Structure 1
Amino acid sequence: MICARKARPVSARHATLRTAVALLAAGALLAGCGTSGGKAQSAPGGSGGRAGAAHMTIGMVSHSGDGDTFWDIVQNGARRAAAKDGVRFLYAHDKEGSRQAELIQSYIDQKVDGLIVTLAKPEAVKAAVQKAVAQGIPVVTINSGGEFSAAYGALAHIGQDESVAGRAVGDELNNRHARHVLCVIHEQGNVSLEDRCAGVRAAFHGKVDTLDVDGTNAPASQSSIQAELQADPSLDTVVTLGAPIASLSVKAKQEAGSSAQIATFDLNAEVVKLLKAKDVEFAVDQQPYLQGYEAVDLLRLHRDNADVLGGGKPVLTGPAVVTGKDVPELEQYTGRGTR
């Protein structure tokens, strides 16, 4: 099966996570359908699942910027579950909170049977989410803003506790004797990214600086990281909060002539290659495929059987620290777009 990690749990809570994930992932083992990009997409369920017309329509709105491969993996999981469950799956994204609210409203107007939303900018989408709930559309939140989920009326939140994940990184850096960390935030105003850096700062024994970049502008992001490394030789670690920024940080480090180690949140095929090459020391995996898969599955099961998950608490899909030792197992999964 898809394992978070074979050794060294992040915390006692991680042991519980591994058991829960093993149960959740039983139906989500096999490959998803590769899809990416676009402000709005739709795909009917049916291939590999129930025959005939879709039984329900589910819309997902995320805070993804253009070109963020993390959300390709989330979509792969959602589309796999939709195909299995006979669901028509719609997807739209925008990095601006106001546009996210408009996209949620558009799905309300389309009278979808369920909504999956992210709460990266919770205040911006609060009214739209609550409106959907008031109109009888069940909502599941994923990935970010879990602390707001129940208050907004969602059935459940599926993702990782970002503060816990940040502290796990801080602990790992202490074990590696780091002293001065640059935490790179690639989307300003995203509460989950801010929580990650705050968690690192809370657990880490050394100094933590933050750097804001525009994750949708790769050349500018790389230049900003390179400039920081050149300006302050005491920086011995760069922590990125998304897989695409990790690749840019490796290039920035090389251009700056820095010896800083690179660590990142989230995985993709490129990060696994960098782990294998020892260009990235470790990554924190939150299993985005599982977030998309379980959200669609839950909405279908809720409609058909009034099922819920979590017992009022988040359904955790991470964090798990992975290193180069995990590469042989991860390569096949990231290559097919399921990790």
Structure 2
Amino acid sequence: MPKPSGRPVYHPAGHDEPLRAVLQDLKAGRWVSTRNLLTETPDWGLWTQRTQILAAAVVGSDVVHIWRAEEPYSTSAAVLHTRVLVERALRAHRAGHRRTNDLWRDAVAACAAASSLSPEDPVPWICLLALAQLDEGQRWDEHRVAPPEPMLFPGPWQLLAEADKRDPGNREAYHRMLQFVYGRRSGGPLTEAYNFVQWAVASAPAGSALHLLPLYVHVERYRREAGNERALDLHWISEDATRGALRALQLWFDHALPTATSLLDLNHLAHALWGAHQFHDASRVFEVLDPFYTVVPWTYRTHSPGDADAAAELFAQARSRCFGASRDTR
């Protein structure tokens, strides 16, 4: 019988214990365990996830630069270096930094170099997809390719195809494309995003994380419409939102290996099921999450969006509500 745990914990590595240990080493400036972990990473999906988390952890340090100086021919070091440059360019863009264009050019060059070193790796193409959102006016030809279906939008479809060819249904690749959609200046309110995720999930097999994409768009809509609390609460029990949550449960959660999945995906699913009053099903997701949580999407249901403590408190309240309802039905 599920029981509410203590205060939820945020950690970027979540249930990935080897990655948690490596992150500790990186904080101390030690990179050897990172090299070993990446060498032993068994598939492109996990490789993508780990390199993204590692880069975010070292974006403000020179540990990868030191590693590359020691092992200049290391493919893993080159890919992580590319990740770091891309993350720096994205952060500079969000901050309106005057060096954004320089950082952007450096990141694009690093993507090309990493792709040459490891042609089968989807990450350099995913990185180019991430950088596409900096081209808000879609000035570059590769960012306004004709879509595969008429209801979709011109965009970096060839970049997505290259990532998809190397790792079909790669979670981050499709999320990067969704972020690109959010940044487009044309189109109605989230219409293009809804069209994109429906297109993506239509051919996704059972167990694919792409089945979570509609939940992210629901959260984005909720975030943009914040202000009318009653209407926002009704948003989550609408037929469309409830159907999306249950489909994600059945087509992803019931087939995936939960401990190897994204914490963000698990949190979005628990959040959607709780919001749809599907408390018993939500309790199953909360059990798998224990003891971890992520600030998003819970923060958007609080009075202080961005406040990690408020998000953790709401997460704990929702978890208790769902575990309580689950016990009552036994």
Give TM-score, length-normalised by structure 2: 0.32
Relative contact order, higher structure (CA 8 A, sep 6+): 1
Q: Structure 1 or 2: larger strand share?
A: 1
Give TM-score, length-normalised by structure 1: 0.31
Larger Rg: 2
